[in-house]
Amino acid sequence: METLTYHTLGLAKIQRTRIFPGRGDVLVRVGQKVDATEPIAQFIPEEKFSILNIRKELNLKNIEDSRRAINIKIGDKLKKGDLIAQTAGTFSKSVHAQFDSEVINIIGSQVILRLSQNPKPIFAGFESIVTEILPFRGVVVETNGALIQGVWGNQKAISGPIISNMNNVFEELTPDKIDVTFRGSIVFGGYCSTIEVLKAAVDLNIKGLILSSMSASLATAAMNCEIPIILLEGFGPLPVNERAYELIKTNETKVASINAIYDVKKFEKPEIIIQLPVEATSPSEGLELQTGRVVRINSGQYQGRAAIVRKINDSKTKLPNGIRSTCAIIEFNDEDLVSIPLANLDILE
């Protein structure tokens, strides 16, 4: 059975394709080194148009009068406030551009404008090297290093040294545990239950936060926070899985990139990448859930805990809620065995 895979790898070749929608331009070249927050391309968001009915706007009797009143031609670039049409006489009426725009067509008394928009950047997301240019489509970036994928992020990215004062996977991150020595670093912490943690991180110029989990009541504040935030396990008081904990603690003080810019609809995940000067192989995708796999429970009583699959039952098991589902027997580090529906398991590679 195929299930969602979250990578927690000490070394992997990490290759990502950054595609931009619509009209855009690539800003880098093959072989160029780029930072996490460096724009590698820019694109124009979905085009917007405006149609002006000059005859109606100027209260004219016919199309011929409307055409004589129009003072622009196809292809003209207009600034906000520029004159588009005007009637003659002492009590003349006029129509002005409400936005910066371009005249793309004039049909009868109608003027069709394409509204000008500022281009939006596409960021590399992690320190990497440009390996391929996809003309008018995007850029491929690549690096080698440790890879830890989370479940939620606030759509921002940054690079910096990782620092932590966590002593165990259950520890909560509180405001008093963030001090001035963390300035300029990415802080790795546990569960966050108060907005004061986010405020302290911003006030002390922390570059970013890697958290095991967060109170759901902070979701909006986290989205609006100035710094990148990644949740490794999700919302609610969840401990960080031991694999991620050990991997991040092992690489403490090293420079990492946290990329919380992702698209759930494309099955992308927020991720932490720690560059390492060693060649590696690409991680596997679409792994099959089978005996021996390391998994993480994504809901229910044991949510957030990691375990090993010891057996996948051949027949469906009746759950306490009355639903029958295919389950796996999994084992925690303390050797406890429990039966969990396959739908509640993610693979940790």
Average pLDDT for residues 332-342, to the nearest whole number?
A: 80
Residue 201, token pair as written in the block? 């991180």
pLDDT reported for residue 83: 93
Which CATH number is correct for 49-115, 3.30.70, 3.30.479, 2.60.40, 2.40.50?
Answer: 2.40.50
Residue 256, token pair as written in the block? 């990492």
Note the CATH architecture for domain 5-15+137-275.
3-Layer(bba) Sandwich (3.50)
Reported as type and span, the H/E element at residue 164 is: strand 157-164
| pLDDT greater than 90 at residue 338 | no
Residue 29, token pair as written in the block? 């070249």
Domain borders along the chain are 5-15+137-275, 49-115, 294-348
| pLDDT category of residue 313 using cuts at 50, 70 and 90 | confident
Encode 238-265: b = buried (16+ Cβ within 10 Å), e = exposed. bbbbbbbbebbeebeeebbbbbbbbeee
Give residues with Cβ within 8 angstroms of 50, minimum separation 6: 98, 99, 101, 112, 113, 115
pLDDT reported for residue 2: 52
What percent of the chain has a predicted confidence (pLDDT) above 70? 99
Give the Cα separation of 108 and 12 in Å (integer). 61
- Coarse DSSP helix, strand, coil percentages of the chain, rounded to the nearest 5 percent: 15, 40, 45
| pLDDT greater than 60 at residue 50 | yes
Residue with tokens 């009590």: 91
* pTM to 2 decimal places: 0.75
